Chains A and B, each alone.
Chain A
Amino acid sequence: MSLRALGLWLAAALPAAAEPTAIRVEAAAETEGMRGDADDPAIWADGADSLILGTDKEAGLHVYGLDGAQRAFLPDGRLNNVDVRRVVVGGRELGLAGATRRDDETLVFYLIEAGTVRRAVPWQHAAIPPGVPADDIYGFAMGLWEGRPLAIVNFKSGHVVLWRVHEAQGTIGLTPGRVVALGSQPEGMVADDRAGHLYVGEEDRGIWRLPLDPASEEAPRLVVPIPSPCLPRDDVEGLAIHDGADGVRRLVASAQGIHRAALFRLEGEADPVCEALVEVAPGAVDGVTETDGLDVWTGPLPGFPEGLLVMMDDQNAGFTTNFKLIDWAAVAAGLP
């Protein structure tokens, strides 16, 4: 059999890889444009006090309402990635947000209460454990392991460090946990608190999964390579988890090279299965291009009863960047 005939036979005999469903939505709202460089959003869900935190990687942290209007700006330096978890600090349940600060290779923390964001005490923490040759702080995620918060940071050198976060009398402290080294630059990460997984995007290579347990020694595994149907080209950027009310769980990944949010179904310990690619097309609000960080909130929020997807947009009007707010109901309507 010639090679050409073999190819034709294989094409006919083998099942085709499932193609992702193409979903086209429009943003419902957007945050104010910034002349700096928007990078990564985090959604803080708290009823009428819900907020979107968004980094300007040249200047600091923006705080927006769900209408996109800016509530506050903290000019705290070159904050790259941000994430948030609900925790108990000083006996009160509130939001603990962390961010990577590129000015001085540190982690900084904020407390969120009643719709306001303030610096935690102490605000700034060393991000590189002693003896670890990590360099150039970059991505960040928070997680909960056995009910206790984790601050997970990565570096352009490929290192990923899991820090345990502890609190005593209202002050924040960090204790180093596991350190992992990937082959090239990571950035986007998300902790799947329910499943006990950490997903790490290596920008040019794909998405890795490893145990969220900071004491684990299990090696990371590449579960979504580049190229593959939902990530046909680099970079993979922001990552988030969507816990559907129907029990379906999804990993949401920013596919920067094709300007899409990629959706993967999650089932137990199986590898994520490519399901759909979401395009945020121009409408009343302009579309999303060269998206970087993203975040998802699964439950109801004011104006978004089925949840919210927030994506960074690199080409906003007036030569600015910003974050687009997408009603998850519009995404869900396009799912198979």
Chain B
Amino acid sequence: MRLAALALVLCPLAAAAEAVTTAGAAGEPPSAWLGERPHLVLVGTAAGIPLDIRIEDIEAAEDVVRFAGKREYRPGEGGWRYTNFEILLEAVLDGVERTIELELENHDLREHAVPAEFALAAENFPEGERAFFEVQMEWETADGSVNEELGGWTGTATLLLETGEADAEGIVPDGLIGGFVAAERGTDRLVASFTVPVTETERDE
């Protein structure tokens, strides 16, 4: 690709890559999971964009439009495998409507009773005590837009909370998912603590 074309591709990111913070955010990232109260704390950098998002009480956060978890299932020999979950945040941060999604994948998360620690891996739906972690970020300002899907992190993810009532097929459509992630990707470093209410499931056939 020629330089001019490359610059064209990259300019939306460069135009909108300022730090993303919540009011009062500052200080060290958390060193452990912050507990069962629904929250999302995301501190570090992703695609070089500084993030310091500390929403420690989702229900009290006026700028949060949507905070929801989704469990996804795929067919397996013994029924549905619980292969991944997604955490969606839609919030107005620094006056900009921003969508941030976190996703964690494993061959079958049902095989890992909480607390369960996973080594982050580059492959999708890895078997054993490994997981694939992805961060997605989307927003638009007058200067440009950010649209990033960032996979291939290394580090660890620890699941500390999995609640909800399974139906006859083993699908769990409600409850909470909580955990802690410490991840690296090139020069990016990211720490996440979350507890998210599950509002949706998907069967990917």
- Asked whether A258 lies within 8 Å of B8 as measured between CB atoms, the reply is yes
* Beta-carbon contacts under 8 Å, B132-178 to A: 138-142, 145, 147
Complex Cα gap A146–B97 (Å): 49
B1-28 vs A: 1/0 string, CB under 8 Å? 1101110110010000000000000000
> Quick one: given A16-B2, A19-B2, A282-B140, are A317 and B97 in contact (CB under 8 Å)?
yes
Neighbouring B residues of A286 by C-beta, 8 Å: 140
Question: Are A319 and B5 also in contact (CB < 8 A) when A259-B12, A259-B147, A286-B140 are?
Answer: no
Given A19-B4, A289-B140: A258 and B9 within 8 A (CB)?
yes
Q: Does A94 contact B (CB under 8 A)?
A: no
Q: B65 contacts the other chain (Cβ, under 8 Å)?
A: yes
A314 touches B138 (CB 8 A): yes
Asked whether B90 is an interface residue with its Cβ less than 8 Å from the other chain, the reply is yes
Pairwise interchain contact B5-A315, C-beta atoms closer than 8 A: no
Q: Please, how many angstroms separate the alpha-carbon atoms of A233 and B147 in the complex? A: 13
B9/A315 in contact, CB under 8 A: no
Tell me the bound Cα distance from A224 to B20 in angstroms. Answer: 38
| A214 CB-CB contact with B under 8 Å | no
Within 8 A of B (CB), among A294-336: 314-315, 317-319
Q: Given the complex, which residues of B lie within 8 Å of A16, measured CB to CB? A: 2
Given the complex of chains A and B, what is the CA–CA distance between A258 and B145 in angstroms?
Answer: 10
Interface centre among B4, B12, B140, B142, by most chain A C-beta atoms within 10 angstroms, is: B140
A319 and B99 alpha carbons, distance in the complex (Å): 8
B167 to chain A, nearest CB (A): 21
Residue of A nearest to B145 (CB): A289
B66 near A: Cβ within 8 Å?
A: yes
Residue of A nearest to B139 (CB): A315
Interface size in chain A (residues, C-beta < 8 A): 23
Q: How far is the CA of A287 from the CA of B141 in the complex (A)?
A: 9
A282→B142 contact, CB < 8 A: yes
Contact of A232 with B138 in the complex, beta carbons under 8 Å: no
Min CB distance B164 to A, Å, is 23
Q: Contact at A318–B97, with CB atoms within 8 Å?
A: yes
B121 to chain A, nearest CB (A): 23
B4 and chain A: residue at smallest CB distance:
A19
Does A22 interact with chain B (Cβ within 8 Å)? yes
Q: Is B147's CB under 8 angstroms from A290's CB?
A: yes
Residues of chain B within 8 A (CB-CB) of A117 are: none
Instruction: Check B8–A22 contact: CB distance below 8 A.
Output: yes
Residue of A nearest to B97 (CB): A319
Quick check: A277 and B8 within 8 Å, CB to CB? yes
Residues of A within 8 A of B145 (CB): 259, 287, 289, 315
B86 CB to nearest chain A CB (Å):
15
Complex Cα gap A168–B32 (Å)? 69
A290 touches B138 (CB 8 A): yes
Chain A residues positioned under 8 Å from B140 (CB to CB) = 282, 286-287, 289, 315
A232 to B8, CA, bound (A): 10
In order of increasing CB-CB distance, the 9 nearest A-B pairs are: A289-B145, A315-B140, A319-B90, A282-B142, A258-B9, A232-B5, A232-B1, A289-B140, A290-B147
Additional A-B contact list (16), CB under 8 Å, known A19-B2, A258-B8, A290-B147: A17-B2, A19-B5, A227-B1, A229-B2, A232-B1, A232-B8, A257-B9, A258-B9, A282-B141, A289-B138, A289-B145, A315-B97, A315-B145, A319-B66, A319-B90, A319-B97
7 pairs from A and B in contact (CB 8 Å cutoff): A19-B2, A232-B5, A287-B140, A315-B138, A315-B139, A315-B145, A319-B99
